Amino acid sequence: MQEHKILGIDVGASGMKGAIVDVRTGKLVADRQRVDTPKPATPEAMAGAFAKLVEMHDGYKGAIGCGFPSVVKKGVSLTASNIDKSWIGVNIEQIFSEACGCPVFATNDADAAGIAEMKFGAGKDKKGTVLLITLGSGIGTALFLDGKLAPNTEFGHILLHNMIAERYAASSVKEKEGLSWKEWGGRINEYLCYIERILSPDLLIIGGGISRDFENYRRFITTEAPVTPAQSLNAAGTVGAALYAYKCLKKLQKI
Ligand code: BGC
């Protein structure tokens, strides 16, 4: 395997998606593969699913980047909002690499998506304060100032109407509560306006599966700051995970 082609895996609360990414271009070398995230999403069950997903990449044996839906510090999961609570304190890199036999480098999933969009997508060459917001089972955020990431921001957990914002405005809530685009669009607008009051961002980028449907809710958004869907749409997390692993490898091997 050439060193610039790296397997990136985006671990989500409902599915895990992986693709080999050319880190020089941010393009997927082959189609993404997906496995369901086991329920309950315990470390052991998820490690098994992770190994199965790696196997679906025809004997891939290199480093793997992993975007993970929690606060991640030094490879360890420190929170567990949409995964099993037993993840708290578990070393993601260790348990996943033991399961698949490849070195794994883990970072927060939204941070991974942000890394991809700042390098190749909607945030490319953007200075100032840029916030990428991934909307899925939860709400993840990645904050950049002049292109530099402040990791693990967790702005999906600010309070809106006395509840954690992701329980009010994540895209999973739209499905669960059967909200129309107008109803959910109103909620996401409230969230984005609140974020704007706190951060005064220069650009907001929407990631996650629902970024594909941006045209259905863009008219409900009233922020001063421009809002745009991620250019790599739902693949940003996969691409960013691969970029993250490449960065870690470069640090370790000076490649
Ligand atoms: C988690 C974040 C994660 C986001 C998106 C939230 O519930 O706390 O760490 O980035 O979901 O998966």
Closest CA to 26 of 232, 208, 204: 232
How many CB atoms lie under 10 A from the CB of residue 172? Answer: 21
pLDDT at 126: 98
pLDDT, one tens digit for every residue, the chain (255 residues): 578 999 999 999 999 999 999 999 999 999 999 999 999 999 999 999 999 999 999 889 999 999 999 999 999 999 999 999 999 999 999 999 999 999 999 999 999 999 999 999 999 999 999 999 999 999 999 999 999 999 999 999 999 999 999 999 999 999 999 999 999 999 999 999 999 999 999 999 999 999 999 999 999 999 999 999 999 888 999 999 999 999 999 998 865
H-only helix segments in the chain: 43-55, 92-100, 109-120, 165-169, 171-177, 181-199, 236-253
pLDDT at 233: 80
- For the domain bounded by 5-111+235-254, which CATH number is listed? 3.30.420.40
Report the atom number in ligand 1 closest to the C-alpha of 138. Answer: 11
- List ligand 1's pocket residues with C-beta within 6 A: 69-71, 79, 81-82, 108-110, 134, 136, 138, 140, 154, 156, 166
pLDDT at 254: 64
pLDDT at 9: 98
Check: pTM over 0.85? Answer yes or no: yes
Alpha carbon of 156 to ligand 1 centroid (Å):
7
pLDDT at 3: 82
Q: Do domains 5-111+235-254 and 126-230 have the same CATH topology?
A: yes
Report the atom number in ligand 1 closest to the C-alpha of 71. Answer: 9
Q: Do β-strands 15-22 and 33-36 pair in parallel, antiparallel, or remain unpaired?
A: antiparallel
- The residue extents of the domains of the chain are 5-111+235-254, 126-230
**Tokens, residue 71:** 């606060």
Residues in the chain: 255
**Does 3.40.50.2000 match the CATH number of domain 126-230?**
no
Strands, sheet with 139-145, edge to edge from the N-terminal-most edge strand: 148-150, 139-145, 129-135, 203-207, 227-229
User: How far is Cα 133 from Cα 114, in angstroms, rounded to an integer?
Assistant: 8
Residue to probe by mutation, ligand 1, list 66, 70, 107, 166, most atoms within 8 Å of CB: 70
List the residue whose alpha carbon is closest to atom 1 of ligand 1.
Answer: 70
Residue to probe by mutation, ligand 1, list 73, 84, 154, most atoms within 8 Å of CB: 154
Alpha carbon of 102 to ligand 1 centroid (Å):
25
